[in-house]
Amino acid sequence: MIQLAVNGATGRMGTRICALAKEDDRFKLVAQLHRAHEDDAQRASDQLDNLSCDAVIDFSSDAGAQHALNIAVAHNAALVVGTTALSAQSAEKMALSAKSIPVMIAPNTSRGVAVLKHLITEAARLLGSGYDIDIVDTHHAAKRDAPSGTALRLVDALRDSAGIQLSSQRVHCMRAGDVIGDHDVIFAGPGERIKISHSATTRDVFALGALDAAAWLVGRAPGMYTIEQSLGLTATGDS
């Protein structure tokens, strides 16, 4: 059974991850780390001093993600980071720590979004340069980052896999109501439009995805991994 710690346990995502982990036979929830601890990394780590920990899932903040990383390194545990808008400093620290532990940075842990990324890169490759591409990123009014981490990953996927440099003017953000998360990628060419979309109707899809990612990551060799690798959409090697 995987000994699991959840950082940001009182947030929207952390609450659902903890609830679902308690019902999942793969996991034993050994620590629920709260936002109050983010200003005191040592205090958060102390909760785990006398416990075994195999995996840490973080949905908190940039500072919280760094503390989760410290905990994972101290316990030689796998780390799944779902926190969005990570700073360059945090990303660099995680890349360095991936030399000793397996790390996955996944701003969106949905299986459907991973497939969306795969589909849009295939569409871009097949349609060619004669089509304009726009991304519409819609979330609830309380979401702080715009564009979302998912929208930025879609931009990166188009660049890295299809060689398309999408300008910021082509990413349109809406923050309104209680929308959990919608992403539409629109290809517009002569006489036609193609729209590939993903809509999340419950946050549980992200919580379940994070748990699946953690279960997959435990036991992997140190390194940086992606959600696409965990789903078999891209190749991986324990190296």
Residues with a known catalytic role: 139, 143
For 188-216, b/e burial (b = at least 16 CB within 10 A) is eeeeeeeebebebeeeebbbbbbbbbbbb
Rounded-to-10 torsion of CA 38, 43, 49, 51: -50
- Helix (H) or strand (E) segment spanning residue 42: helix 41-46
Contact between 203 and 181 (Cβ < 8 Å): no
**Terminal-residue alpha carbon distance, the chain:** 24
Rounded-to-10 torsion of CA 44, 45, 49, 50: 40
Return d(Cα 126, Cα 123) in angstroms, integer: 5
Return d(Cα 211, Cα 109) in angstroms, integer: 9
**Amino acid in the structure at residue 133:** I
- Helix (H) or strand (E) segment spanning residue 118: helix 111-127
